[in-house]
Structure 1
């Protein structure tokens, strides 16, 4: 069983260029953060205003250490204006318990 953790941040905006710019800015800030395996910006095929930032972490301890660190809020600030305030759970943290398929 893998200890990987997936973090989902829900965003809602009509400003595609703005959220893409903010995503790339935050991603550059997070480069090299211990335990962060990668992240991606996803856009809903059902609602063009709905975006999701999905980040993959080595384990819960690595995510918690970063989230509780002093640079967390400043490094993610560019994405904050796009947060989906209509969603009572704009953040989801999931632990991987199983997987199938080709990773390539």
Structure 2
């Protein structure tokens, strides 16, 4: 078990350029966040309106500390309008890796 945590945020957008701009803005705001190892924007190959942002954290406590902090909501605001209703996010701990 590595202890790393992946956070998946599901989004929908009719134009990839709009969500890409929001993703880059959020990424700039989060640069240097303690415990954040990186993030990725992924587009579905089956539905070009579906996107997922995957962030990688050193561990669950680092993610929770950031999520409960004051800056969390402001820093992620540009992506919020694209959040998928229903299943908006998931938090997963890495239990095995090669």
Short-chain TM bin: over 0.9
Match of 2:72 in 1: 72
TM-fit CA distance, 1:53: 0.2
Match of 2:51 in 1: 51
**TM-score scaled by length of structure 1:** 0.92
SS of corresponding position for 1:11: strand
TM-fit CA distance, 1:15: 1.8
SS of corresponding position for 2:46: coil
**TM-score scaled by length of structure 2:** 0.98
TM-fit CA distance, 1:89: 1.8
Q: What is the distance in 2 between the residues matched to 1:95 and 1:13? A: 27
The root-mean-square deviation of aligned C-alpha atoms, in Å, is 0.5
Aligned residue pairs: how many?
Answer: 98
Instruction: Give per-residue Cα distances to partners, 1:5-32, cap 9 Å, x unaligned.
Output: 0000000111211100000000000000
Flag structure 1 segments of 5+ consecutive residues without an equivalent.
none
Moved over 6 A (4+): none
